[in-house]
Amino acid sequence: MRPLPSRLHHDERGSVTLLTAVAAAALLGATALAVDIGRITLADREVQSTADLAALDAVRAVGDRRDPTQDMAIHASTLATHALARNGGFLDLAEAAPGVAATVGRWDLTARTFTPTTVDPNAVSVSATADLPHAVLTGRTAVERGAIAMVEEVGGLSIGSVLASASIDEPQAQVLDGVLSGLLATSVDLDVVGYRGLADADVRLGELLAQLGLGTAEEAATATATVAQLADATAVVLSRSTETSDAAAITPLGILGTSAGTASVQLVELLTVGPDDGALEAEVRVLDLVLGAAVIANGTNAVTAALPLTIPGVASATATVAAVETPRIATGAPLQLADGSWATTARTAQGRALIELVLPDAVTIATLLGDVTADLTVATYAELGRGSAELHAVTCPDPSGTGWLTAYARTSGAAGWLGRIEPATITGGGAPAVSPVTLVDVAGLVRVTGTAATVLPGAEGPLTFVTPTDVPQRISGGSPDLGGALAGGTSVTVEALTAGLDTDAIAADVLAETQRVLRELDAGVLDDLADALGVSVADADVRALGVDCSGRRLVR
């Protein structure tokens, strides 16, 4: 084969040189492009980080740094700009022209949408921008990223019977001792001063959980503690307080810690604590905490307790009580869930009470052989309805510390009977069968039975609290006088077991005395008993546990 001419060899070398030059140029261009793409990618991350940090700073203008003397939008923009100066990274270079813009508004937790507004804002939307010059190629690239941060609007609620310190007297203390002793299966002996001390003291949830060795709400959700541990931990927390009212609770808590035994509660049954850190800032009244823990520790077991003799003529008073639903204190965000319920909802216990009052020689019966005195036994059964309070809205405190909390409260009312039930059925899920009560029974002479039934209406409606406040508000369907309503509907039946009796006179006498006792039932017995269970008769007291907006988080 003949060799190629030398001219062709020179042509090939020229082609290779040209291709090499083209490849080198392409490689150089690709390298330049890669450098600029990498720079833009890094800038994108830096701009997003700047937007996040600026939003978290700017949202304080509508949260814990809210200042009514400043325009809220301007204040948010100023905080965002300061955040840019501190956290702008390489965007501090003048040629990058970094910038931020802040818009105040409201973030809807349910719909997860942001609406610009200066009316009760809870969030700030921040747009961070940079005009980045290319490092190798000519031109510039605009980078823009956004972030939305909201304040963690947190509130707390409790609902039930808010037993005021000043209203606790000796009979009330006796009822509380009897019910707590039964609930805890031990002997509780506190005096009026002790119970008033518990009613006047408040404990911050975060400090209480920390004393129990629980650092977060998530840990509390799975934790169990004995009532004694709760009492002891509360006493330790209060011992660090400078409030005189808190100090008065330490001694009775020590007594409870010693006498409460091993009864335990799952904390999630007692306290609904939202995941936001601010939920731990809520303060809970110590008496509510103690009574709620005792009810939950007992479960649905029936408790029998002797009652103080406050109704004239009554020589013996006993009550069998049970909580068929336990109370719950709630702190968290005003968040409505997909099923329409509210995430932060406090509730009362749902109580049942069988009360028996014995009045010796209360009725005189005329017979052919002379007058005979007979005992009167008045037995009543009451179902004290469930109440709930939902946290619907929170307005963050201003610099003076004043905030607002909106709740929606409901109570399902109460029902009462003059009659008897089988004590074992008081803890059942359904309504126990109520039979007429034998008011008077004289063997061979006369038997008188009585019956009555009534239902008191419930109520519902919004409540607005200005915090900080320790003044509860009541939701009520009317006059919660269960005994009075029963008295108005009482009927008696006389069964004469011998001849010569004036049954009409006997009926009138028994009816009058029974109605007298029933009219004094609420004030003399039922109200104190309901207070011990943390419930009210046909109404409910709602208490705001405070508002906190110190927490902040990114939502987008």
pLDDT digits (tens, 9 = 90+) for 110-145: 888 999 998 888 899 999 888 776 655 566 777 888
| Cβ pair 279, 271 in contact under 8 A | no
Please identify, among 151, 184, 210, the residue that sits at the C-terminal boundary of a domain.
151
Residue 505 belongs to some domain of the structure: yes
| Cβ pair 125, 26 in contact under 8 A | no
Please identify, among 111, 131, 151, the residue that sits at the C-terminal boundary of a domain.
151
Residue 4 belongs to some domain of the structure: no
Which residues of the chain register pLDDT less than 50? 8, 32, 92
Same domain for 252 and 379? yes
Same domain for 258 and 399? yes
Joined together, the tokens standing for residue 235 give 């006493």
User: Scanning the structure block, which residue is given the tokens 């003291």?
Assistant: 201
Neighbours of 301 (CB within 10 A): 13
The pLDDT value recorded for residue 342 is: 92
Same domain for 147 and 221? no
Distance (Å, whole) CA 349 – CA 536: 9
Residue 29 belongs to some domain of the structure: yes
Residue 7 belongs to some domain of the structure: no
Same domain for 23 and 160? no
Distance (Å, whole) CA 254 – CA 239: 11
Strand ranges for 368-503 from DSSP E:
370-384, 387-395, 403-411, 414-418, 437-442, 446-456, 459-467, 473-476, 491-496
Same domain for 104 and 218? no
The pLDDT value recorded for residue 148 is: 95
Residue 489 belongs to some domain of the structure: yes
Residue 12 belongs to some domain of the structure: no
Neighbours of 330 (CB within 10 A): 26
Please identify, among 120, 151, 182, the residue that sits at the C-terminal boundary of a domain.
151
Residue 124 belongs to some domain of the structure: yes
Joined together, the tokens standing for residue 401 give 């510390």
The pLDDT value recorded for residue 16 is: 58
Same domain for 165 and 132? no
The pLDDT value recorded for residue 519 is: 95
The pLDDT value recorded for residue 237 is: 94
| Cβ pair 148, 538 in contact under 8 A | no
The pLDDT value recorded for residue 211 is: 93
Residue 399 belongs to some domain of the structure: yes
Same domain for 39 and 170? no
Distance (Å, whole) CA 73 – CA 66: 11
The CA–CA distances, whole Å, from 392 to 342, 404, 407, 427 equal 8, 11, 5, 33
Pairing of β 329-332 and β 271-273: parallel
Find, among 490, 519, 526, 523, the residue nearest to 384 by Cα: 526
Number of domains within the chain: 2
Same domain for 430 and 449? yes
The pLDDT value recorded for residue 249 is: 93
Same domain for 422 and 515? yes
Same domain for 418 and 535? yes
Q: Reply yes or no: is the peptide bond before residue 468 cis, omega within 30 of 0.
A: yes
Distance (Å, whole) CA 10 – CA 515: 129
The pLDDT value recorded for residue 18 is: 57
* Structural domain for 349, as ranges: 155-554
Distance (Å, whole) CA 395 – CA 377: 54
Tell me the residue length of the chain: 556
Same domain for 130 and 166? no
Same domain for 159 and 141? no
